[in-house]
Amino acid sequence: MDLFDPVVIALIIAGLYMAWNIGANDLANAMGTSVGSGALSIKQVIVIAGVFEFAGAVFFGERVTSTIAKGIVPIDSIKLIEPHFVVIGMLAAILAAGFWITFATFYNLPVSTTHSIVGAVLGFGLMLAYNGVIGFADINWLVLAKIVGSWLVSPLLGAALAYIIFSIIRYFLLQQADNPYDIEKRFVTLQILTACFIAFAHGSNDVANAVGPLLAAMNTLGLTNSTVPIWVLAIGGFGMVLGLATWGYRVIETIGTKITELTPTRGFSAEFATASVVVLHSYSSLPISTTHTLVGSVIGVGLAGGLAAVDLSVIGKIIMSWIITVPVAAATSALIFTGLIGIGI
Amino acid sequence: MIRREYIRSVLNVFAESPFRPLHMHAEKGGDAVRKLSESVEAYCKGDMVRVEELSREIDVIEHEADVIKQTIRSQLKSSIMLPVNANDLLDFLKPQDTIPDDAQDVAYWLLLRQCELPDVIRDGFLELMSRTAATVEMYETLVDQLSELLETSFGKKDVKQTLAIVPKVEELEHEVDIIETDLIKIIFKHEDVLGGAGVYHLTELVKSIGDIADKSEYAADRLRTMILRR
């Protein structure tokens, strides 16, 4: 098999589609907060996000990508049994995640691409175990538990950090100043830095959702020698930037015009907290949802008294989306895998 | 049909701020009272056409205030987290809403009966109305401070500055009270000239105008409670 194998091409296209979705929605969400507070224009945001997202994906994306590729399902041992299963399974996983994300986005559900891809990869593994190719115990439950745990911890961590950051700004700057609006003006510049930081963080964590399965397939097919080749990450980075430029700007516009409450100090607190939490997880090889972490951070700013009104019903919606996404993505992925193998691909 | 955009967003977490409409609502009260001042002046001059015109204008303002009030109430679902207690906020919205209501009542009451006022009563009315308007305007200044309070998220200095306005509203309301009792006494002294119906009409008018100042003072008090109990 070579790079021009139809399955490999399908994997690359599906990966690009996933990356496009991530760029169009998740990256746009992360960046929209900078536009909302008036720190940057939409054009500036797209340029900054493009550069730093790509950098984050290429230079810091390999850890999480490895986790998605081989951390959950023992790809290396399946490879020895039947390499074809890995390639088709990864295609099934990315297709399943892509379908679910498309559906959820169309119905404006706060679903995470990370949860979708983790569920989809798990679904493939469970299908193999069900068919007796591997044992159920071969699935890396410990890693999975850590990942799911991080989904719970990351928004809480975002909230705590944003609460602390905003409380410090509030106590030492806003409440000491004669005119708090001068402080806001100064934070406009700082927010440009956090916009870079959050784009980098997002790239480093979310690139895996698009190219993790592609990487697993490449490794299995022996198309790459190194563990995580730069060009695979670059495909993901490119797709995400493309998504932001072709569709994300609309999402940014929508968000930017609606969240005028998020002044530069508030925006800075929420973004800095989110980016820090996401980078920490990228470092720990844990795939998390940037968007959910951002929601947690915004709530943190609200808890510190920084926002006029926060709607906490979003917490319930996010928890529901966790509960639904993983089984749905897993089942779809298992079905697609069985179907593809069944028709002899 | 709902127009669906291909969007997943964090927007859900941001709820509409009730503070901006709250501020608009307070301004409606101020507007209604300013119109009422004009109306009382026109009444004293005997210009009933103008009084009627102004009454209609006040009706419109009162209705706008009602719409704002309902919007605020309908937005405050239990899942909304505010930097203040939501019940306290509603407790303060209620007396604030009676300001335009009462202004509307006075405007109607003016229309009911035209009468030639003795100079001393006319001066009393103008004085009563101008002090009442001053009370409401001081109250508006107080509500104005809310936006700054939110900006610093209730910094000690700003809270102190804001709460310092409350006694000023109370003081003005107290002045209105004194003018009110004096004026009623004067009205009864002129019973012969005014007649029974005239006395009744004018005393009711005095009490209703005084009520507006009372409600502003009460709303200021609830606002203080809201800030202190957050």
- Determine which of A93-102, A130-139, A172-181, B181-190 has the lowest per-residue pLDDT on average: A172-181
Q: How confident is the model at residue B62 (pLDDT cuts 50, 70, 90)?
A: very high
The answer to whether the CB of B91 falls within 8 A of the CB of B226 is: yes
| Tokens found for residue B31 | 């507007």
Which of A111, A298, A311 lies nearest to residue B80, judging by beta carbons?
A311
- Statement: residue B85 has pLDDT above 60: yes
Binary contact (A247, B81; C-beta < 8 A): no
Domain coverage including residue A245: 6-342
Q: Establish if A240 belongs to a structural domain.
A: yes
Q: How confident is the model at residue A7 (pLDDT cuts 50, 70, 90)?
A: confident
Which of B10, B11, B150 lies nearest to residue A308, judging by beta carbons?
B150
C-alpha distance from B63 to closest chain A C-alpha (Å): 26
pLDDT > 70 in chain B, percent: 98
The residues, any chain, with a CB within 8 Å of residue B70's CB and separated by 6 or more, are none
Binary contact (B12, A110; C-beta < 8 A): yes
Residues from chain B that touch A180, judged by Cβ atoms under 8 A, are: 148, 151-152, 155
- Statement: residue B186 has pLDDT above 70: yes
The answer to whether the CB of B25 falls within 8 A of the CB of B51 is: no
Number of domains in chain A: 1
Quick one: average pLDDT of A47-58?
92
Half-sphere exposure of A195 (CA within 13 A, CB side): 30
Q: How far is CA A130 from CA A145, A334, B25, in A?
A: 20, 10, 64
Q: DSSP labels for A213-272?
A: HHHHHHHHHT--SSSS-HHHHHHHHHHHHHHIIIIIHHHHHHHHHH-TT--HHHHHHHHH
Q: How confident is the model at residue B1 (pLDDT cuts 50, 70, 90)?
A: very low
The strand pair at B80-81 and A310-311 is best described as antiparallel
Instruction: Output the average pLDDT for chain A.
Output: 90
Rounded to whole angstroms, how far apart are CA atoms A99 and A116?
A: 10
Instruction: Output the average pLDDT for chain B.
Output: 92
Among A27, A108, A115, the strongest candidate for a mutation testing the B interface, having the largest count of B CBs within 10 A, is A108
pLDDT reported for residue A189: 87
Rounded to whole angstroms, how far apart are CA atoms A71 and B2?
A: 42
- Statement: residue A6 has pLDDT above 90: no
Quick one: average pLDDT of A48-52?
92
Residues from chain A that touch B6, judged by Cβ atoms under 8 A, are: 24, 105-106, 247
Q: How confident is the model at residue B3 (pLDDT cuts 50, 70, 90)?
A: low
Which phi-psi region, left, alpha or beta, contains residue B17 (left: φ > 0; alpha: ψ -120 to 50)? beta
pLDDT > 90 in chain A, percent: 62
**For residue B80, what is the enclosing H or E element?**
strand B80-81
Q: Establish if A1 belongs to a structural domain.
A: no
Residues from chain A that touch B80, judged by Cβ atoms under 8 A, are: 309-312
Rounded to whole angstroms, how far apart are CA atoms A45 and B163?
A: 42
Domains and CATH numbers, chain B: 17-228 (1.20.58.220)
Q: Establish if A225 belongs to a structural domain.
A: yes
Among B19, B153, B157, the strongest candidate for a mutation testing the A interface, having the largest count of A CBs within 10 A, is B153
Q: Which of A271, A333, A314 is nearest to A111 (CA)?
A: A314
Rounded to whole angstroms, how far apart are CA atoms A44 and B225?
A: 45
B14 in contact with A, Cβ within 8 Å = yes
Q: How confident is the model at residue A39 (pLDDT cuts 50, 70, 90)?
A: confident
Rounded to whole angstroms, how far apart are CA atoms B137 and B125?
A: 18
Report the chain B residue with the minimal C-alpha distance to residue A258.
Answer: B11
Among A289, A307, A315, A317, the strongest candidate for a mutation testing the B interface, having the largest count of B CBs within 10 A, is A307
Angle at B24 between CA B19 and CA B29, to 5 degrees: 125
The answer to whether the CB of A201 falls within 8 A of the CB of A195 is: no
pLDDT reported for residue A249: 87
Report the chain A residue with the minimal C-alpha distance to residue B81.
Answer: A310
Q: Which of B41, B26, B27 is nearest to B209 (CA)?
A: B41
Residues from chain B that touch A178, judged by Cβ atoms under 8 A, are: none
The answer to whether the CB of A194 falls within 8 A of the CB of A268 is: yes
Binary contact (A26, B156; C-beta < 8 A): no
Sequence length of chain A is: 345
Q: Establish if A313 belongs to a structural domain.
A: yes
Q: Establish if A321 belongs to a structural domain.
A: yes
ipTM score for this prediction: 0.84
Quick one: average pLDDT of A294-321?
92
Which of B11, B75, B230 lies nearest to residue A255, judging by beta carbons?
B11
Which of A175, A254, A261 lies nearest to residue B9, judging by beta carbons?
A254
pLDDT for A110-121, tens place per residue?
A: 899 999 999 999
Which of A33, A111, A174 lies nearest to residue B8, judging by beta carbons?
A111
Among B10, B12, B84, B229, the strongest candidate for a mutation testing the A interface, having the largest count of A CBs within 10 A, is B10
Q: How confident is the model at residue A226 (pLDDT cuts 50, 70, 90)?
A: low
Quick one: average pLDDT of A314-333?
93
Which of A110, A180, A262 lies nearest to residue B8, judging by beta carbons?
A110
Q: Establish if A12 belongs to a structural domain.
A: yes
Binary contact (A110, B17; C-beta < 8 A): no
Q: Establish if A135 belongs to a structural domain.
A: yes
Quick one: average pLDDT of B113-128?
91
Binary contact (B10, A295; C-beta < 8 A): yes
Which of B7, B20, B153 lies nearest to residue A305, judging by beta carbons?
B153
pLDDT reported for residue A251: 87
